[in-house]
Chain A
Amino acid sequence: MRERFPGLRRILRVGLWRKELDDELAFHHGATVEELMESGLSREAAEAEANSRFGSRAGYRRAIERIDRRAAIAQAWEHRLDVTAASIKYAVRRLRRAPVFSVGIILTFALGIGANATMFSIIDRLFLTPPPHIAEPETIRRVLIHGSIGRGALAETHEIGNYPDILDLSRATGIKDLTMVGPTIELGDPGLNQGIGQLVAGDFFEFLGVRPSLGRFFGPEDDQIGGSAVAVISDHLWRTWFGGADDVIGQTLDFGDGPYRVVGVAPPGFSGADLAPIDVWVPLRLTWARMQGPECFDGRRGCGGMSAIVRIDPAYSDAQVESQAWAAILAGREAAGSRGPFQDDSRAVVTPLLTARGPQASQESKVAIWLAGISLVVLLIACSNIANLIIARLSRERRESAVRLAIGSSRRRLAGQVVLESLILSMIGAVAGYFIAQWGGTALRTLLLPELGWEVPGLARRTVYFTLLAATFAGLLAALVPAAHFSRSSVGEALKSGGRTMAMPIARMRSTLTAVQAGLSVLLLVGAGLFVRSVQNVQTVDLGVEPEGLLAVAPIVEEEMSRQEEGRLIGQVMAELERLPSVEAASRDLSVPFALRAIVPAWTADGDSLPPGYEAGLHAVDPDYFGLSGLQLLRGRGLRPDDSATAPRVVVVSESLARLLWPSEDPLGDCLIMLLPPRDCMEVIGVVADSREAALDATQPINYYVPFEQRPAGPPGGVILIRTSTPASLITPDVRAVATSIRGVSRVEIIPVADLVDRQTRSWRLGASLFTIFGLLALIVAGVGLYSALAYGVAQRMFELGIRSALGARRKQLTALVFKEGLVLTGVGILAGLLAAYFLTPRIEDLLFEVSPRDPLTLAGVAITLLVVAGVACILPARRAARVDPGVVLRAE
């Protein structure tokens, strides 16, 4: 086939334009000389005059050659584009000729790319893009403390907490600027049904370098204890609650502790230093002093709940800043003469602004990372399946491509055509995949990260870029093996075989791809199996406490109430609640199962305390507590109404606590002493079952229960737990009405305990459902791939099978032949997949719930599932092989 367009390299090599330039200039010279001689000059004089008129010949030639060379290159590119356009047209024509093939591939691409695009938006949000509107986010860090809190507690990473300690950080050289945020609070404004507010330091907005979209932000001058209260609201709240009106500035919001005047509106999408949306920002010192009293900011005492956010000097490494920060905190503590909550093992930790990248990453963000990995595996399976389909088609068209090769088309061009077709299909698949991501992404986000806002500037654009990138990658990957095939096939052989027999390399390639798919499916299904087992375990785990029907009611009392008054008031609320017909039982407590735990170290009369790493939770409860929580009394007695404030001090301990402190004796009758005053002997009167209320996977369900009336001085407040058979949503209004009708109670928080457990099991349920979806997807793709490979193999081997049949092979033997091939192929894949799983799954161990990452039941189950699918995929091809009629097949030759 004649090359229609000269290749780029050829243009440059031959340098046709150089010769043409010579001719052109020679003509010019000749014509000039001729004209001059006609006017009477001698030849020599004419030559000289012509040369002088032309100017520096060498110089001009160089200049012209440079121009011509560039022109030639530009032309070659244009030609190349023409060639590409022609190839695309040809490819599209070919793809339209095989619509089933094309649509199948497009759908497979769409699924693979869509899964990845879906995960990308989540990964981007959690791990890649800082919260919007922040100036120079790369220099911002969080400063945390790693160490144990209190004696014998487990070392963990936690916020610095104390206001003065955070201020001390400014003395670290590597910290250029710092601000702090307080806790987020649920807004109590009766008008707002559910709003989230955050306490932030006065310099917070200036620190982040963000500009208000309306009004102004508050500054340090607004953050004064006892000053007039101001608030900045989010764009979302402004639009929904205030209807986007300009006169919002100056209006007031009331969160139960007095009015806050709105001074500004944050830009759209702004969520402060975190990713979860915030509705209102209020000044930290002012609000905290209103809520908790001004002594928080008084000297060293502090009151916790603050997080430090700093800008670091890029000249220092994070490790350097860590040691500087810790030195600064220690220096401040030394000056104040108190160690505060810090222990000997404490040290400062500098982490990225995005919490998912730091040590405090949520379980959900870990699941997200794994899901991203899985979606990549799904894409790999999709690509290998597509490669298989392309190879099948190519071998059907062996004669066509052989003819093209024979008449002079280059192998590179044929391989290029394969790549081009694959890319075209992957791009169309990407468009479909993008829509899958739009639709599936919304569902997945609400499942995985319901609390995050997704109105993020630039996210849509980045998702489009990523989708294109993924499509290019997938298109190239799928075409890799088929295109490589052209470098090996020989023209003569292909023409001779007449496209009947499957050439060995193709058979081998297809088998390998099928085995790879089986292996990858095994990997995904093992993951799915482990998560499903985790969910089973989570759901059947004996929590000790029965969360269904349990409601935590936390009355918030008016300010300036003494602890005694508060305790009495809560008792009053409980008495009123018990009168409600739907309330079966009620008890006060200091802790809320799965939400709030008062950790107070305790030891025996002999001074035996818990081994390091174990924490004991203190409960101060009423006698009904064990009945209503569902905790089984194992030995001794429970609490009784006569265990009053004046009666001898008693305590009920959990089974684990008893086992750890009294490994060999009976705890009943012995003494337990807790850290809080009066620190006297509490007689152990009973042992109850363990309650896993700290965390579902807690290895230390250690608790002890004292009568509410004998509760220690120290932990404030108290909540009321009620058991009811009425659904939480129905009883909530009654409970709220009763509780708030009592004088002194300003508002009440009501939390169904089952919801708290649900939240804890969410990551497992998510992992199980998503792994299962992806795993099944992979299984289907692999099953269909195996089927098509086998069916194709049988079709290609009709001749051979016919001969076998003619030579006396029985149907059973022919069937066995096909089954053997299919099962061996799958078996190899399964073995490889199990091997990979064996080494990979231990990495998800901390995401599982009481399942070994190499759980034999799961591994075996997955292997059997895959073999069954492979067997089913073999049935049809095997029946075809068995029905082969030697007469027909041999005559066809």
Chain B
Amino acid sequence: MNLIQGTLDVLILKALIFGPLHGYGVVRWIRETTDGALDIEEGALYTALHRLEKRKYLASEWGVSENKRRAKYYALTETGRQHLASEIRTWDAYSAAVSKVLRRPEAST
């Protein structure tokens, strides 16, 4: 299943809502949460991470990983949090509208 443009950004923001993660952690979280249903190239994910950082939705800091290695951790900024909330609202409204159309019983026509 391919991703709709821009959805990856929302997924990343959502992944970080529970606390800072390094890139690998974000990848793992998305894979686990979606049971691998989404086919995302990890390169694309890193591109998105850097883009979101440039837009100041994310802030990064170097830290030490679980297995004691130097890793770059990303955290959601306040702007990022607000952006995520508004994206979620948009998404809900959008998907509700689309679902309404798609679930319309064909018999009534």
* Residues of A bordering B, CB below 8 Å: 20, 23-25, 27-28, 30-32, 34, 53-57, 59-60, 63-64, 67-68, 70-71, 74
Q: Is B47 an interface residue (CB 8 A)?
A: yes
A25-B46 contact in complex given A30-B69, A31-B24, A54-B41, C-beta closer than 8 Å: yes
Judge whether A55 and B71 touch: CB under 8 Å: no
Question: Which chain B positions have C-beta within 8 A of A53?
Answer: 41-42
**1/0 per position for B49-75, CB-CB distance to A under 8 A?**
011011000000010010101111000
Judge whether B72 and A23 touch: CB under 8 Å: yes
Q: Is B22 an interface residue (CB 8 A)?
A: yes
Sampled A-B contacts (13; CB under 8 Å): A23-B70, A24-B71, A25-B46, A30-B69, A31-B69, A54-B42, A55-B42, A56-B43, A59-B43, A60-B43, A60-B46, A64-B50, A68-B50
The residue that A28 contacts in the complex, of B24, B47, B50, with Cβ under 8 A, is B24
Q: What's the Cα separation between A30 and B65 when bound, in Å?
A: 12
Q: How many Å from the CB of B55 to the closest CB on chain A?
A: 9
Which chain A residue lies CB-closest to B42? A54
Q: Is B23 an interface residue (CB 8 A)?
A: yes
Q: What's the Cα separation between A116 and B41 when bound, in Å?
A: 64
Q: What's the Cα separation between A344 and B104 when bound, in Å?
A: 93
A74-B54 contact in complex given A27-B71, A30-B69, A32-B24, C-beta closer than 8 Å: yes
Complex interface residues of chain B between 22 and 58 (CB less than 8 A to chain A): 22-24, 27, 41-44, 46-47, 50-51, 53-54
Using A23-B70, A24-B22, A31-B69 as known contacts, list a sample of 8 further A-B pairs with CB atoms less than 8 Å apart, ordered by residue number in A.
A20-B72, A24-B23, A27-B69, A30-B69, A53-B41, A57-B43, A63-B47, A64-B50
Judge whether B50 and A55 touch: CB under 8 Å: no
Q: How many Å from the CB of A885 to the closest CB on chain B?
A: 68
Question: Which chain B positions have C-beta within 8 A of A34?
Answer: 67
Judge whether B65 and A31 touch: CB under 8 Å: yes
Judge whether B42 and A28 touch: CB under 8 Å: yes
A27-B70 contact in complex given A64-B50, A71-B53, C-beta closer than 8 Å: yes
Judge whether A71 and B23 touch: CB under 8 Å: no
Q: How many Å from the CB of B16 to the closest CB on chain A?
A: 16
Question: Which chain B positions have C-beta within 8 A of A32?
Answer: 24, 27, 42
Judge whether B41 and A67 touch: CB under 8 Å: no
Question: Which chain A positions have C-beta within 8 A of B46?
Answer: 24-25, 28, 60, 64
Judge whether A27 and B72 touch: CB under 8 Å: yes
Question: Which chain B positions have C-beta within 8 A of A20?
Answer: 62, 72
Question: Which chain A positions have C-beta within 8 A of B62?
Answer: 20
Which chain A residue lies CB-closest to B52? A67
Q: How many Å from the CB of A873 to the closest CB on chain B?
A: 60
Question: Which chain B positions have C-beta within 8 A of A23?
Answer: 70, 72
Q: List the 3 closest A-B pairs by CB distance, nearest first.
A: A60-B43, A55-B41, A71-B54
Q: What's the Cα separation between A57 and B71 when bound, in Å?
A: 19
Judge whether A55 and B24 touch: CB under 8 Å: no
Question: Which chain B positions have C-beta within 8 A of A60?
Answer: 41, 43-44, 46-47
Which chain B residue lies CB-closest to A25? B46
Judge whether A24 and B43 touch: CB under 8 Å: no
Judge whether A67 and B54 touch: CB under 8 Å: yes
Judge whether A27 and B42 touch: CB under 8 Å: no
Q: How many Å from the CB of B39 to the closest CB on chain A?
A: 10
Q: What's the Cα separation between A23 and B60 when bound, in Å?
A: 14
Most A Cβ at <10 Å: residue of B43, B67, B71, B72: B43
